[in-house]
Every structure is written in structure tokens, then in C-alpha cells.
Amino acid sequence: MDGASNVPASHDTGLVLHVLGARPNFVKAAPVVRALADAGVRQGIIHTGQHYDTLMSDVFFADLGLPEPVANLGVGSGSHARQTAALLTGLEEVVEKLRPRLVVVYGDVNSTLAAILVCAKLHIPTAHVEAGLRSFDRTMPEEVNRVVVDALSDLLFATSPDALSHLAAEGADPAKVYLVGNPMIDSLFAALPRLDPAPIQARLGTPAKYAVATLHRPGNVDDPETARELVDAVLEVSRLIPLVVPLHPRGRGRLAAAGLVPSADLDIVDPLGYVDFLSLVRGAALVVTDSGGVQEETTMLDVPCLTVRPNTERPVTITHGTNRLVTPATLPAAAAKALSGSDLGSPSGELPPLWDGKSGPRIARVIVNWLSNNES
């Protein structure tokens, strides 16, 4: 896992490549990789190293049973321009060398955008898992990535019915679009027997009743004043209930400068592996987040979730789940309401459509059929 030198020397015209750059990508990819392996499809994973910390990436390969990557680009962090430039250069070298039949990308991170741009220029077909999600907020870098990626992808795998409407409004060819459900939920279904809060609570010294917070979005942490408002609100929540904060490397320094420091009621910990983190979430009375995936995971686990964002590209977590949008100003009151039991549970009483643990096989069937119908 130490660079493009691990790439096999010969081209493999039957190869399907998966480009993964951040924790949510790994979770979404694992069910697809498994299902394609069951179908006998030859595959490889490119780990871009966008999440460069071991706890942000390598442990997820172990937790999710993903195979060793054929290449690790190790791009690390940086501004959007610098990171994307490094991704473009690294991915071009690997994709040109391997010339895969299909490249599969996931979500909305810079690795996803760079892979789509490289493949479009090299005329390599692509598939986007989680197509059609929209926040309609172009101030979010992820929203820009989503729109560009969907415009250039050859196969569009939508996780929710609203995504179909967005793709249709943007003129996507219906023949390219498939409603497949959410592969992140496949991974959660598979992990459920291992999600025991007790071991991680014991390891962290967490009390019986606690909340969890994850915060890293640029809109929340990059501006010092905004970060200070958010931290003040989080500190108020910690006065209501002990709070565990697995802190993402992105923005860690800014949040600390804004006053997010450990206290008797606020435990700041390093990023956790997939099973440890979801075990902690499963036992929590409340989750505060600005993450997209956590909104979905808390909906599945029926844990109250307060998302500190003005919008979400995952509205099904509100209509079918436990998620609520809040601002820093409204967060403490919303937390108090949730903890009082007056705003808990799934409003609709059911999970979103096709959240049944079978999305990976659905995606694999489409890819296998596509490969059969597009033989070179």
C-alpha cells in the first residue's frame, strides 16, 4: 500500500476498479465489492489516501473485509485545488496503466470528482454509486462534486427516490439510472451482530447515558466565528449529557482554538474504526453531526440525530428517520427536546425504500449485465 508501484504491469481488460478516498466510500463499496466477487468479476481498489490517517482508512479495510488496494496514492490533505490536482495526477497514471473496463466511484469527495474527470478524458466508462443526491447548496464543495460526477458518469446508481427526480430534472438519460437502495445500509446490516456498545464504552470510560458528536464540514469549522458558535452550542449540549467527540483531523485545530477542549463532560477521542464508532452510536441517547453518512446510520439504528447544517442531501433521513436539521443557535434546545423523549423514533414508522441490505447485489447485477453487453 505504498504507491502506484503496486499496480500490476499488464493491462486487464476485464478489470473493474473502485476508487475510494474517505471513510464513507469504504462503507458503501464493501457490499458492491463482495457481490461482484461472488459474481466472479475481477476487481481492484485504488485507495487515494484522501483520509491519510490509519484510523481514518486502513482500519476500515479490516473492519469491512475489503481486499488490499492495488494502489495507494497517499495524497493526504490540502486545499481543494492542491488535493484535486494531486488526485488527478496520481489517478491518471494508475488508470492509464490498468485500462479497466469500468471504474466505480462513490459519494461526493474530491477523490470521486478526480476519478470521473480522469476517466472522462481517457474514455474509460464509469459508474457512480449514490448518484442524484442534492442539497442545492453550491457553497458546499461536495455539491459541486455531485453535479459534475453525475453529468459525466455512464451508470448512475441512486440510493433514494428523490435522487431519481433530481437526475431527471438535470436531463440524465433514464437508461443510465438505476434505483438500487443504499449500500451503506448493507454494511450496517452485516455489522449489526458486532455492534455492542459495552466494549467501546468500557475502553473510553463512557458513562451509561451519553451522546456522540462528529463535526468536520468546512461550513462549520473553517471560519473562526462560525466554529466558535458551534463549539459554544456543543458545550451547552455537554452540560445536558456527557458527550463523546471522535474528532476528525480536518478542522481539529480550529475547533480546539474555538474552545473545544476535554472536560469532565466532554471526551475528545481519536477517530474510531467502523465497528467501534457504530457501536458507540448504537448505545448513544443522541448524536450531533454534520456528516451525511451518520444521518443514514442513525436512521437505521433509530438513534436521535441532530444535523448541524442548513440543508441535507439526504431528506429521507428526515421524512423516514430520526434526523433533524438544526443551527448552532437551536442545537441546545433541540438536544434537550430529544433527550426528554418528546422527539424520538422514526416519524413514518418504516425505513426508506430499499434499505434492505441487498443494494450491493442489485448494483453488481447491473454492472455484470453492462459488462456482458459492452464487451470490447
162-171 pLDDT tens trace: 999 999 999 9
pLDDT digits (tens, 9 = 90+) for 143-162: 999 999 999 999 999 999 99
Spatial distance between the Cα atoms of 315 and 331, rounded to a whole number of angstroms: 19
CATH of the domain spanning 192-339: 3.40.50.2000
Catalytic pick among 11, 123, 216, 320 = 216
Mean pLDDT, residues 67-78: 86
- Residue 248 among the catalytic residues: no
Whole-number pLDDT of residue 343: 58
Band of the pLDDT at 361, cuts 50, 70, 90? very high
Starting from the edge strand earliest in sequence, which strands make up the sheet with 155-158, in order? 71-72, 43-47, 16-20, 102-106, 126-131, 155-158, 177-179
What distance lies between CA 156 and its chain's CA centroid? 17
Given this model, what pLDDT does residue 153 score? 98
Domain 4-181+355-373 identical in fold to domain 192-339: yes
Contact 42, 15 (CB under 8 A): yes
Element (H, E) at 197: helix 197-204
In this predicted structure, the answer to whether residue 277 has a pLDDT above a threshold of 90 is yes
Q: Which CATH superfamily includes the segment(s) 4-181+355-373? A: Glycogen Phosphorylase B; (3.40.50.2000)
- Least-confidence region, from 37-46, 51-60, 232-241: 51-60
Q: Name the pLDDT band for 10 (thresholds 50, 70, 90).
A: very low
- Residue predicted with more confidence, 269 or 57: 269
pLDDT of residue 50: 64
Each domain of the chain, given as residue ranges in start order, spans 4-181+355-373, 192-339
Model confidence, pTM: 0.92
